[in-house]
Amino acid sequence: MSNYTYDELLAAVSVADGKAAVDPATGEVIGNSPVQTVAELDELIATAAAAQPAWAALSDEERSAYLHKAADAVEASAEALAELLSREQGKPLNGPNARFEVGGCAAWLRAAADTPLPSEVIIDDESGYAEMHYRPIGVVGAISPWNWPMMISIWQIAPSLRMGNTVVIKPAGTTELSVLALVKVLNDVLPEGVLNIVTGSGRTIGDALSRDPRIGKLMFTGSTEVGKQIIAASAQNVARLTLELGGNDAGIVLPDADPAAIAEGLFWGAFINTGQTCAALKRLYVHDSIYDAVVDEVAKFAKNVPMGNGLEEQSLLGPLQNQGQFEIVDRLVESAKAAGARVVLGGEPDRDAPGHFYPTTIIADIDPQHELVLKEQFGPVLPIIRYSDLDEAIKLANELEFGLGSSVWTSDREQAMAVASRLQAGTTWINSHGGLHPMVPFGGAKQSGYGREFGVEGLKAVAEPHVISGR
């Protein structure tokens, strides 16, 4: 296992003649990733398929040991991985950002390694006997996004390998070097052919991967729009699907909450990774009686959180990852301003500055039906909506097609549980938003996707259940 420096890692994955990877903080080119063809993808899938029987034939303990070795390898090169992630994705080294993400990769590898999925006896009585076994599916196709490129790739890779599948992964186009480097580090310790990576556009390579008859399972994290295309593409093959799609998470603050006490949690729930997080708090409904106090306290906290180049240790927020995302955020905020919403903080980007920095922005007194509220902004902007009737707030929280996360903020546990039970979402957090744990199932309701990742549910999602019945 190597302990790579940043330069060694970059040299191992960057090619002379490829697609430029651009630092979103400066606009500088940091390296080039290969642009692969459908013919190359075809060979990689063949490699994964050829390697799968021997990988599946290892004992569960042997595969678990490989995943621990993979986690060791990530930890040995953690600083180099974090630096590359910071330069390419833009997220700061510090805070809940690049080093945190690399640490999450090791943690999720170890959790998959330490979670067994043994066969179970389902019935054993006068009515009959049946056991359930969890077999590998075969080759898993994984397609990941650019916001948490390393960690989300690991969420797809780790359980798949644990269950005896082999993998072909396609990272998002703007964060290829990061995932290439991660896969390089993992492949230094994994057997050949078990983990394969392909780079190229979603429309060609991603689509070909989704359609390939040798792919038994697709794990996709990205937008709802592309998720729907993947459902259609995979139909030919009846491939199993786990879809982690978009979110527009609502939080509801009840009248008894303490504004000063919840401000920090609200801030990080919304602004983690500069707002580019699927299950970030994207619209906050606050009761009229404490509305002004909550807006003030969140703004007071937000003002002091430094945004800057990710390599500077003091930065806790970074640029948006790409120009397209900057434009989405900029347009939504301009539209809110034009509609008369109140800008409490931010909202005035320097559009001529290098990189894709958008300032931390808090918008108050906004119409609950404004598009900044109804659409996924995916950036450092939080609209705060006033409500006076809790039933109305719950109705607004539930009225969108999304249902990834949600949160309730109150010091009354019973009230929290009562409101949580009425929210349509894969997860409802109480007095926090967005925290994940490798043993707690995570996924979306409604058009935020289907299937669950993590823990035992996550392993079942990359396994083929096989019943053996009779005595």
**Site residues for ligand NAP per CB under 6 A:** 143-147, 152, 170-173, 201-203, 206-207, 210, 221-223, 226, 229-230, 244-247, 278, 376, 378, 404, 444, 449
For residue 360, the partner it binds in Mg ion, ligand NAP, none, with Cβ less than 5 to 8 A by kind, is none
* Structure tokens given for 277: 């997080």
- Cα 23 to Cα 26: distance, rounded to the nearest angstrom: 6
- Cα 155 to Cα 169: distance, rounded to the nearest angstrom: 12
Helices 78-89, 98-113: crossing angle, 10 deg rounding? 120
Stretch that binds Mg ion, among 3-11, 42-50, 161-169, 369-377 (CB under 5 A): 369-377
Contact (CB, 8 A) for 85 and 98: yes
For residue 173, the partner it binds in ligand NAP, Mg ion, none, with Cβ less than 5 to 8 A by kind, is ligand NAP
Report the residue number, 104 or 444, with the smaller CB distance to ligand NAP. Answer: 444
How many other C-beta atoms are found inside a 10 Å radius of the C-beta of residue 354? Answer: 14
CB of 40 to ligand NAP, least distance (A): 15
CB of 283 to Mg ion, least distance (A): 5
Report the residue number, 355 or 383, with the smaller CB distance to Mg ion. Answer: 383
Contact (CB, 8 A) for 349 and 366: no
Contact (CB, 8 A) for 199 and 36: yes
CB of 175 to ligand NAP, least distance (A): 8
* Structure tokens given for 434: 């967005």
Report the residue number, 23 or 249, with the smaller CB distance to ligand NAP. Answer: 249
Report the residue number, 79 or 207, with the smaller CB distance to ligand NAP. Answer: 207
Catalytic residue, chosen from 244, 297, 376, 453, is 244
Stretch that binds Mg ion, among 28-36, 167-175, 270-278, 377-385 (CB under 5 A): 377-385
Known catalytic residue: 278?
yes
For residue 370, the partner it binds in ligand NAP, Mg ion, none, with Cβ less than 5 to 8 A by kind, is none
Residues 229-288 that bind Mg ion (CB under 5 A): 282
For residue 377, the partner it binds in ligand NAP, Mg ion, none, with Cβ less than 5 to 8 A by kind, is Mg ion
Question: 392: Cβ–Cβ under 8 A, 6 or more apart, which residues?
Answer: none
Report the residue number, 20 or 339, with the smaller CB distance to ligand NAP. Answer: 20
Among 258, 265, 261, 248, which Cα is nearest to 287's? 258
Tokens 């593409």 identify what position?
233
Contact (CB, 8 A) for 304 and 360: no
- 305 burial type by CB count under 10 A (0-12 exposed, 13-18 middle, 19+ buried): middle
Catalytic residue, chosen from 101, 105, 176, 278, is 278
Report the residue number, 221 or 274, with the smaller CB distance to ligand NAP. Answer: 221
CB of 351 to ligand NAP, least distance (A): 21
Collapsing DSSP states into helix, strand and coil, what is residue 403? coil
Contact (CB, 8 A) for 206 and 144: no
Q: What angle do CA 392, 394, 397 make, to 5 degrees?
A: 110
Report the residue number, 229 or 398, with the smaller CB distance to ligand NAP. Answer: 229
CB of 426 to Mg ion, least distance (A): 18
- Cα 11 to Cα 268: distance, rounded to the nearest angstrom: 35
- Cα 431 to Cα 408: distance, rounded to the nearest angstrom: 6
For residue 99, the partner it binds in Mg ion, ligand NAP, none, with Cβ less than 5 to 8 A by kind, is none
For residue 404, the partner it binds in ligand NAP, Mg ion, none, with Cβ less than 5 to 8 A by kind, is ligand NAP
Known catalytic residue: 244?
yes
For residue 221, the partner it binds in ligand NAP, Mg ion, none, with Cβ less than 5 to 8 A by kind, is ligand NAP
How many other C-beta atoms are found inside a 10 Å radius of the C-beta of residue 264? Answer: 14
CB of 106 to ligand NAP, least distance (A): 19
CB of 221 to ligand NAP, least distance (A): 5
For residue 226, the partner it binds in Mg ion, ligand NAP, none, with Cβ less than 5 to 8 A by kind, is ligand NAP
Q: Is there binding between residue 433 and Mg ion (CB under 5 A)?
A: no
Among 147, 150, 77, 64, which Cα is nearest to 112's? 64
Q: What angle do CA 284, 286, 287 make, to 5 degrees?
A: 160
How many other C-beta atoms are found inside a 10 Å radius of the C-beta of residue 383? Answer: 26
Report the residue number, 246 or 355, with the smaller CB distance to ligand NAP. Answer: 246
Question: 346: Cβ–Cβ under 8 A, 6 or more apart, which residues?
Answer: 358, 359, 360, 361, 362, 380, 381
Instruction: Number of residues interacting with Mg ion: please give it, by CB under 5 A.
Output: 2
For residue 282, the partner it binds in Mg ion, ligand NAP, none, with Cβ less than 5 to 8 A by kind, is Mg ion
- Cα 233 to Cα 101: distance, rounded to the nearest angstrom: 31
Q: Are strands 240-244 and 449-450 parallel, antiparallel or unpaired?
A: antiparallel
Report the residue number, 311 or 400, with the smaller CB distance to Mg ion. Answer: 400
CB of 118 to ligand NAP, least distance (A): 28
CB of 241 to ligand NAP, least distance (A): 12
Single-letter amino acid code for the residue at 90: G
Interface residue with Mg ion among 64, 94, 210, 377 (CB under 5 A) is 377
Q: Which residues are catalytic?
A: 244, 278
Sites of contact with Mg ion (CB under 5 A): 282, 377
